[in-house]
Amino acid sequence: MISLVIYWIVITMAILIAAFILPGIRVRSLGAALAAAAVLGLLNMFIKPILIFLTLPITVLTLGLFVIVINALLLMLAGAIVRGLEIKSFWWAVAGAVIVSIVTSVLHSARL
């Protein structure tokens, strides 16, 4: 239970950092960031494995780089679901997905 809350906080921090760095991503409030992190966590848990399986040939062909596209699409979907998260275009979503991935890996490696 505690690790789930920590994971939620880590994703929230990653979304806030991406919104701070990138002008194409806007988060209106902390509550919107928390909701976006919850939605993104659920999408990563349920939808991402299906997408990875369905796109396995192209993921292998691109040496795993297509996973960034999948992460960007899931971030855009989270932005469409949560009203306080606004992503201007697909390329801002790609940049945001890269930043969210980097921040979550750094924070998870630190074992908060």
% of the chain exceeding 90 in pLDDT: 85
For residue 14, count CB atoms less than 10 angstroms from its CB and return exposed for 0-12, middle for 13-18, buried for 19 or more. buried
Domain of 21 in residue numbering reads as 2-110
Which pLDDT score is estimated for 4?
Answer: 86
Instruction: Report the DSSP beta bridge partners of residue 85.
Output: 27
Which pLDDT score is estimated for 112?
Answer: 53
Q: Which tens digits make up the pLDDT trace of 29-68?
A: 999 999 999 999 999 999 999 999 999 999 999 999 999 9
Q: How confident is the model at residue 28 (pLDDT cuts 50, 70, 90)?
A: very high
Which pLDDT score is estimated for 109?
Answer: 83
Q: Is the pLDDT of residue 7 over 80?
A: yes
> Based on the structure, what is the number of domains in the chain?
1
Q: Which tens digits make up the pLDDT trace of 66-77?
A: 999 999 999 999
Percent of residues in the chain assigned helix, strand, coil, to nearest 5: 80, 5, 15
Q: Is the pLDDT of residue 108 over 90?
A: no
Mean pLDDT, all residues of the chain: 94
CA-to-CA distance for 101 and 108, rounded, in angstroms? 10
Single pTM value for the model: 0.92
CA-to-CA distance for 51 and 109, rounded, in angstroms? 25
